[in-house]
Structure 1
Amino acid sequence: MIDFDTMIIPDGLNIAMFLVCLVLMFVRQMSLVDSIIGMFCISLPMFLLNLVIPDSFGGGDIKLMFASGIALGWKYSLLAAFIGILIAGIYCIYLILTKKVDKKGHIAFGPYLSIGIFIALCYGYEIVSWYLNLLM
């Protein structure tokens, strides 16, 4: 909610999340390789995109996906980012259609990523299994 108000995710919150995610990595018995790949599979492309297109993502959003990747692993980090982007995209379409913001406006992206992270943590296995069953 801080991101909604200030467009900033404080480093203290990201550090706290990093520590919680370290514990979750062990509780969920994640492999170290999955966790390391999870840390970078979303945060690194976000960082690189931010270098090419300045202010496309905030540093807090990048750190949020980095920290959550430890607990999620690469599969569920991708799922969390997809869900966050989908929800934020739907909200942005609503804002543009109702003319509450123009195309160059910015939104707080962290809350939508957080929703995606929560859903991926709670229901990631079921969502991925359901999706893979659609393909077979």
Structure 2
Amino acid sequence: MKKHSVIEDDDVESAMIERRVLALGCQHPFICNLFCTFQTQSHLNFVMEYLGGGDLMFHVQRCGKLSEERTRFYASEIVCALKFLHKKFIIYRDLKLDNILLDEAGHIRLVDFGMCQCKTYREECLPSNFCGTPHYMAPEV
């Protein structure tokens, strides 16, 4: 990430949250692993595991429709990852096909944790702001 873009877009907290949540990847098989972070004068760098299976959007576009069995398989892994995050008091607020990558064995990994809300164990810490990708929202929203 370019530092000036992070600062300009007021995304410093988002970058820090992303780093903290990615660091939990080594504790769960369905969250992308973060190996290390470092910075240069102009960039923040996250070294993450290589996930060569593509994202679910690619697979849905290629197949047209996933089988019920395959959908159940991916859904169960997603639920496991979300339960893990919830136990850590983290709300993952960017669940979409583009943010679900597959490893070479066909298992999912959640990525892109910049919109996560952490420390949700107190009601006053629950998210009150609206977020989401307009393309994925229901028409009534």
**TM-score (normalised: structure 2):** 0.28
Structure exhibiting the larger radius of gyration computed from Cα positions: 2
Q: Larger relative CO (CA 8 A, sep 6+): 1 or 2?
A: 1
**Of Structure 1 and Structure 2, which has the larger fraction of its residues in strand?**
2
**TM-score (normalised: structure 1):** 0.29
**Of Structure 1 and Structure 2, which has the larger fraction of its residues in helix?**
1
